[in-house]
Chains A and B, each alone.
Chain A
Amino acid sequence: MRAFDHRSPIVQTAVRAVFHAVLLTSLFFLVRGHNAPGGGFIAGLVAGTAFLLRYLAGEDARPGRPVPGAPRPGLVLGAGLLVAAVTAAAPLLGGGQLLESGYAHPVVPVLGEVPLASALAFDTGVYLVVVGMVLAVLSTLGAQEGTSLAPLAEDDDPGEAV
């Protein structure tokens, strides 16, 4: 975004350095969420801030991907809701109730006993929806005509519409 009319190489480099770390942190929050502070919603917001940083640093986006380094918002949103809905409905196939969850404590080498709940899959859906929401906001409100990162030609192509 060119709200801050110049691009600072220092900021850009710094953001590149922390970007993946923040994304990893968000995954950490997602996985531990069932047993410690965290969860899909928080993790999604953290991942959102990662993209926000990239965006604020003012990198050029590729056509069709208004937020640098991010997939298309519509894709993430759709995938998120799909994952959440499918995991919510999956127990029905096994004769269970909607949203019924199970959990196990498999022993993984190195890590030891890992508590694992099926709710994690559902939470992943929530995570994706939140990330997608942040991306959608950034790409619609951020990329304005004149100051835009997204070339105007792109939304003439109906296939690229968000």
Chain B
Amino acid sequence: MGIRYSFGGDEHLFVECSEEMSLDAFFKSLSMTNGIRDSEIKGITEICPANASFQVKFDPDIIKPDDLLREVKSIEGAAAKSEPVIRTRIIEIPVLYNDPWTHETLMRFRERHQDPTSTDLEYAARINHHATVDDFIAAHAGSPWFVSMVGFVAGLPFMYQMVDRQRQIEVPKYLRPRTDTPKLTIGHGGCFGCIYSVRGAGGYQMFGVTPMPIFDPTQTTSYLRDFMVFFRPGDIVKFKPIDRPAYDQAVEEVDNGQFAPPIRDVSFDLREFSKDIDGYNAKLEGVLNGH
């Protein structure tokens, strides 16, 4: 896995750990960003981890771009030796699939889509070789997802499906990005799932919505009082399909401060996971369900 370095203008160093996505690439990126943070290099102002790459923002008046590049490259070797184990959380997130709001939106932007005659769900089901939309939803909700990046807009998680590559859902992004996406839409682009934290532009296929806010600048949502952004890289998510009455009830619970997502602390070991993916996921789900 060759690492590629490039400058983003005079203030950013861009580091691509791998061209393609994998949890190995994510852990490589994570260990490098941790190493950079620990090294406290003067002039670095922000470290932004992404799925299989990361970005460092720096002040070239304090550190010359070439000096920064040399320092970051020197961290590469040490990072390769770190263990791919993290302490993290697993969270259950309810989803109303095939909801009326994303349906209205996807119909509005049909001319920007690869297949204007079907819906995003029908299209995604077909190109991923599922016989029906229900089968596709079962595959989407049937395994946990790993949060491999937080960003795009405030607190939006990019999620990587924790199944072997043959079973991973892959869809293209819209031909041209939409100018509108409902808040809390469950999206998918490339191999990544996401939850749109706020209403706005987006290029991912849209499958449903969750009633659970994940960004709250007012910090009045019960589980966002400590910080307005819910997700952190490394979080593990399990979707739970719900129907419309359950969705409406959850929205009401959010509004009156009673909604609390099931969250459990868990440790994740990439080597153990890779040895037996389904068995490992079953254990993770066991933790979520209190076994």
| A, B co-complexed | no
Interface on B for A, CB 8 Å cutoff? none
Q: Which residues of A contact B (CB under 8 A)?
A: none
